[in-house]
A and B are shown apart, each in its own frame.
Chain A
Amino acid sequence: MTPQRPATRSRPSLARRALPAIALTSASGFLLSVLDRPSTIVDAGSETTSDTGSTGVVSIMPASPAAAPASTTAATSPTTPATTPATVPATVATTVPETVPATTPPTVATTVPATPTCTTYNGPTISTKWGPVEVQASVAADGTICWADAIVTPDSKSKSVQINNRAVPVLDDRAVAAQGTAFDGVSGATITSNAYKQSLQAIIDAVVSGQVAG
């Protein structure tokens, strides 16, 4: 019942014996400070206000395509599709890059006066660890996203509802701004963000490949 250690003649010191453990603990503390960058729900909420000024809860409203970014809706005529400045479809983008959003609406408006080319589609339901996510989006035949909204989000838990109430409007805006799924997810709602993108991408793919009738 004695420890089986090789006999060492040198006097062992506490410092030497404890050094690996102290080094490991310090490294852990350092790594913790580097890694720990939790993006809390508060961040998502503040992003919402700074991005678009929208007021939190957006009710599920697949009928009204008014959920375009605030900055552009002010300048554009109501219910026009393709109001986004950044990546407007090729036909428009060649003439109007980003600088003059005020001139864009007329050109588009003339092409689509009464019948908006946007059609509303429901994306596939993506199941996540927190629950299902389904995106409804209004997309033009060329893939332009007029508006997008998550009509199904995880709601089995109060925390999910709280998170999604803040995250979904941000995602809606970002999807339109990015005209696709190449946008940053909302921190703190990563799983919903990823599922949102997946559902939205399925709609875009289907429209662009012509699998669904425009």
Chain B
Amino acid sequence: MSSRLDAPTVSPSGASSPRGAAHQSTATSRRLLPPARRSRVLDSDIIWGLGAYVALVVGIWSMHGGLTRFTEGVTGIATAITQLSGLGASAAGLVGLLFTARPAILERRYGLDRLFNWHRVLGEAMAVLVGVHVAAALVEWQVDGAWGAAIADLTGREPYMAGATIGALLIGIVTVTSLRSMRNRLSYETWYFLHLTAYLGFALSFGHQIVTGADLADDAIARWIWVGLHGAVAVALIWGRWGRVLRSVVRPLRVHSIEQVAPGIVTLRLTGRRLRSMRGSAGQFCFLRALTADGWWRSNPFSLSEAPGEDGLRFTIKDRGDASQLLASLPVGTKVAVDGPYGVCTPEIADGRKVLFVVGGVGIAPARAMLEVLPPSAEPVVLYRAHSAADLVHHDELVALAERRNGRVLTLVGPSASLAVRDPFSAHTLRQAVPDVAERVAVLCGPDRLLSAARTGLRRAGVDSGDMHFEHSWW
């Protein structure tokens, strides 16, 4: 282990008293934060929980008609489908909402990107089920093709149905604006605020479930189970979302320094007393909210580019829009609310094995942070892809860190079309560059295109997909 400083010390207080509690034995003079907790949840727990949940929903459905209705003609079939799709939509939505509460027990195991992707999948499933539910309900309610009357009934003549109709419309709108093509046309905050109306839609549709829904209206036990599930998710959301935001705002960090490291790329260092009570690992990311007049209402994620220590958190921020511009131009001393850190791409995944990083552009930040705390046995190799030499950030730091751990940094610079090798991440190229690639744990950071190309190449080069670690960007 090197006894030298791995990263430039910034805060003199951090360097003064090394304490044994610092995680990993990197023996830097910085006092690192205790590592992020590990979750004890197992995949099998999730499968059992999910199975029980599905059984509960199907059980409620089958106790109030269920399959037997399929023998009762068109109306009966429509009734059964209405009930099941309604319960299913609500059940999927509840779990989807639970994921946005970022429960630590799941986040620490699967990562926020997975939770958000599941949130998306469940949201889409809910939208489809709501569509089925509405169509089946109309079939069920119309008598002799009196569609007008059925629509009038279901959009307001029956109690609580006006709310359910508007709830369905809101959920539809939120789903459409979350489709990739629509999503890219909206600014993040416009989309985000629109997305929040899904809560309203969900709440508006609750009344008709309890009053009109045949499964719940006449079965007190089922009703209380349903109300309990909704209440539990509401509590989780208030605690997990509002609570976290509140805590981050009440105890903000402050801008210590901002340095330009490349054109359009800065490092932002935050310090504060709250760091003494925080946990965090290299490779993670935080949501930053500048507490300024034009920044308090938006929060964006940025990767730590240095192992988090009590002397500060360093983020490497590329100019990609007004949020990053705002952060890059903050005066020293500005309060910044930090939510996090999140993410499961931490040094623990090396687990004593050799490590290969495949990174693109500013995706170098988490790799740079992890290099700092990897043991020499990791012999890290960094494949660094960038559009131009100017885009290579922290290059000298990387080389120094890698060499100290018997590793190396390989750069690949230029627009894709100009590269000598047609596919820089083909199995052949990877094996040539890194002969022992198949023995390594791979950590991938970068845009989705790079991720998919690298995953394909690594799989062909013999890397088990369980040994590839990466986090998708989810927006």
Question: Which of A1-9, A166-174, A205-213 forms part of the interface with chain B?
Answer: A1-9
- Any B CB within 8 A of the CB of A14: yes
- Any B CB within 8 A of the CB of A24: yes
Quick check: B162 and A36 within 8 Å, CB to CB?
Answer: yes
The A1-26 residues at the B interface (CB cut-off 8 A) are: 1-8, 11-14, 16-18, 20-22, 24-25
Question: Which of A27-35, A76-84, A105-113, A139-147 forms part of the interface with chain B?
Answer: A27-35
Contacts of A87 in B (CB 8 A): none
Q: Measured between alpha carbons, how far is A63 from B342 in the docked complex, in Å? A: 76
Contacts of B471 in A (CB 8 A): 1
- Any B CB within 8 A of the CB of A49: no
- Any A CB within 8 A of the CB of B196: yes
- Any B CB within 8 A of the CB of A191: yes
Contacts of A40 in B (CB 8 A): 159
Contacts of B194 in A (CB 8 A): 20-21, 24
- Any A CB within 8 A of the CB of B66: no
Quick check: B170 and A127 within 8 Å, CB to CB?
Answer: no
| CB-nearest residue of chain A to B321 | A5
- Any B CB within 8 A of the CB of A54: no
Q: Measured between alpha carbons, how far is A7 from B322 in the docked complex, in Å? A: 6
Contacts of A5 in B (CB 8 A): 187-188, 320-323
Question: Which of A67-75, A95-103, A192-200 forms part of the interface with chain B?
Answer: A192-200
Quick check: A21 and B197 within 8 Å, CB to CB?
Answer: yes
Partner of A32, one of B189, B204, B294, B365: B204
Contacts of A28 in B (CB 8 A): 166, 169-170, 197, 200, 204
Contacts of B173 in A (CB 8 A): 24
Quick check: A39 and B187 within 8 Å, CB to CB?
Answer: no
For B169, B170, B193, B301, the residue with the greatest tally of chain A CB atoms inside 10 Å of its CB is: B193
- Any A CB within 8 A of the CB of B362: yes
Quick check: B143 and A198 within 8 Å, CB to CB?
Answer: yes
Q: Measured between alpha carbons, how far is A21 from B366 in the docked complex, in Å? A: 34
| CB-nearest residue of chain B to A36 | B162
Quick check: A38 and B362 within 8 Å, CB to CB?
Answer: no
Q: Closest Cβ of chain B: how far from A40's Cβ, in Å?
A: 6
The B418-475 residues at the A interface (CB cut-off 8 A) are: 471, 473, 475
Q: Closest Cβ of chain B: how far from A81's Cβ, in Å?
A: 27
- Any A CB within 8 A of the CB of B59: no
Q: Using A157-B218, A190-B153 as known contacts, say yes or no to A13 and B75 having CB atoms under 8 A apart.
A: no
Contacts of A128 in B (CB 8 A): 75
Partner of A14, one of B285, B297, B324: B297
Contact string against B for A residues 114-132, beta-carbon threshold 8 Å, 1 for contact and 0 otherwise: 0000000000001111100
Q: Measured between alpha carbons, how far is A5 from B320 in the docked complex, in Å? A: 6
Q: Measured between alpha carbons, how far is A17 from B323 in the docked complex, in Å? A: 13
Partner of B141, one of A3, A18, A188, A191: A191
- Any A CB within 8 A of the CB of B161: yes
Partner of A20, one of B161, B169, B193, B366: B193
Contacts of A130 in B (CB 8 A): 214
Q: Measured between alpha carbons, how far is A40 from B160 in the docked complex, in Å? A: 11
Q: Measured between alpha carbons, how far is A4 from B73 in the docked complex, in Å? A: 52
Contacts of B75 in A (CB 8 A): 127-129
Q: Measured between alpha carbons, how far is A3 from B473 in the docked complex, in Å? A: 8
Quick check: A127 and B73 within 8 Å, CB to CB?
Answer: yes
Quick check: A187 and B157 within 8 Å, CB to CB?
Answer: yes
Quick check: A32 and B301 within 8 Å, CB to CB?
Answer: no
Quick check: B300 and A2 within 8 Å, CB to CB?
Answer: yes
Contacts of B297 in A (CB 8 A): 14, 17-18
Quick check: B294 and A35 within 8 Å, CB to CB?
Answer: no
Quick check: A12 and B166 within 8 Å, CB to CB?
Answer: no
Quick check: A2 and B193 within 8 Å, CB to CB?
Answer: no
Q: Closest Cβ of chain B: how far from A57's Cβ, in Å?
A: 21
Q: Measured between alpha carbons, how far is A127 from B74 in the docked complex, in Å? A: 10
- Any A CB within 8 A of the CB of B217: yes
| CB-nearest residue of chain B to A14 | B297
Quick check: A3 and B320 within 8 Å, CB to CB?
Answer: yes
- Any A CB within 8 A of the CB of B76: yes
Q: Closest Cβ of chain B: how far from A12's Cβ, in Å?
A: 5
Quick check: A38 and B300 within 8 Å, CB to CB?
Answer: no
Quick check: A35 and B323 within 8 Å, CB to CB?
Answer: no
Q: Using A2-B324, A20-B193, A24-B194 as known contacts, say yes or no to A35 and B217 having CB atoms under 8 A apart.
A: no
Quick check: B218 and A129 within 8 Å, CB to CB?
Answer: no
Contacts of B187 in A (CB 8 A): 5, 8, 12, 17
Q: Closest Cβ of chain B: how far from A202's Cβ, in Å?
A: 11
| CB-nearest residue of chain B to A12 | B322
- Any A CB within 8 A of the CB of B156: yes
Q: Measured between alpha carbons, how far is A6 from B165 in the docked complex, in Å? A: 35
Quick check: A195 and B200 within 8 Å, CB to CB?
Answer: no
| CB-nearest residue of chain A to B79 | A129
- Any A CB within 8 A of the CB of B72: yes
Quick check: A37 and B170 within 8 Å, CB to CB?
Answer: no
- Any A CB within 8 A of the CB of B149: yes
- Any A CB within 8 A of the CB of B302: yes
Partner of A3, one of B143, B144, B149, B321: B321
Report the 4 A-B pairs with minimum CB-CB distance, sorted nearest first.
Answer: A194-B143, A5-B321, A21-B193, A36-B162
In the assembled complex, 22 residue pairs joining A and B whose CB atoms fall closer than 8 Å, in A order, are A1-B301, A2-B320, A3-B320, A3-B321, A4-B475, A5-B322, A8-B187, A14-B189, A17-B187, A17-B297, A18-B193, A21-B196, A31-B166, A35-B155, A35-B162, A36-B163, A127-B76, A157-B218, A185-B149, A187-B157, A194-B144, A197-B143
Q: With contacts A1-B363, A7-B320 known, what are 4 further pairs, Cβ within 8 A? A: A11-B294, A21-B197, A38-B161, A127-B76
